[in-house]
Amino acid sequence: MARLPRLCLPELPQHVIQRGNNHQACFLSDEDFTAYVHWLTEYSRQYQVSIHAWVLMSNHVHLLMTPTSADGISKLMQTTGRLYVRYFNTTYRRTGTLWEGRFRSCVVEENNYLLLCQRYIEMNPVRAGLVSSPVDYRWSSYRANGNGQDVKLWTPHPAYLELGATTEQRVSQYQKLFDECLEEDVLQEIRRSANKGLALGDDRFKEKIETLTGRRVVELKRGPKVRQRMTDEFLL
């Protein structure tokens, strides 16, 4: 089935995933991570995209960010990706593609789902068995959100700022969110929404996005009636 057109609405957060082609590694050293972060920081400012959370894994990237324009995220990902591929191919004396086609993304409801998405992103290294705590992984936003470090790439989202009046209060409340693991159905919803270009949020949020865009943001229900309708449409 063809992928749904990408949603990109100004001032709405998006969860973005960029994977290495055929799951191949796209970061082989600390220098590689540093180069990618450098361009991501530079062009997020140029295209006015605020980055709230991120994790750079060996073969993929997760980003949670809010654009000010409809094409801001696309421009950011295209420019950063192109420059990084040029650097990577030159460094490792290779040619050809590095990324798995176009990035995947979904819009995220701010009130109830944004901090869930941040936790999902920052817990990636823990779920992968690389570290026992997100604080131990260098290439994620947890050091900003969870440790209060000043990181150039980071722009705290208002939902995060509402956790407390001071940095210490926000960090303390944010750390407490990680005391409990995300439930499996939440993990699956986050993954499914980004991979299929849906909307991550409650029913009211999804209805709002469908009204604004005129396009479906929920999965079609599978079943005999759906399959029969698809068959009938094909025969017509």
Average pLDDT over residues 110-120: 97
Average pLDDT over residues 224-235: 41
Using the predicted structure, report yes or no on whether residue 104 has a pLDDT greater than 60.
yes
Instruction: For 72-86, write each residue's pLDDT tens digit.
Output: 999 999 999 999 999
Using the predicted structure, report yes or no on whether residue 2 has a pLDDT greater than 70.
no
Average pLDDT over residues 158-168: 97
Helices (H), the chain: 30-46, 72-91, 114-122, 124-127, 142-145, 158-161, 167-177, 184-196, 203-213, 224-235
3-state SS assignment for residue 211: helix
Average pLDDT over residues 122-126: 98
pLDDT for position 229: 42
Average pLDDT over residues 120-136: 97
Q: Is the four-CA dihedral 52, 192, 8, 23 of positive or negative sign?
A: positive
**Residues sharing a CB contact under 8 Å with residue 169, sequence separation 6 or more, in sequence order:** 163
What are the structural domains, with CATH classification, of the chain? 14-235 (3.30.70.1290)
What integer best gives the mean pLDDT of the chain? 92
Identify the residue with better confidence: 199 or 2. Answer: 199
Q: Is the four-CA dihedral 16, 124, 54, 147 of positive or negative sign?
A: positive
pTM value? 0.91
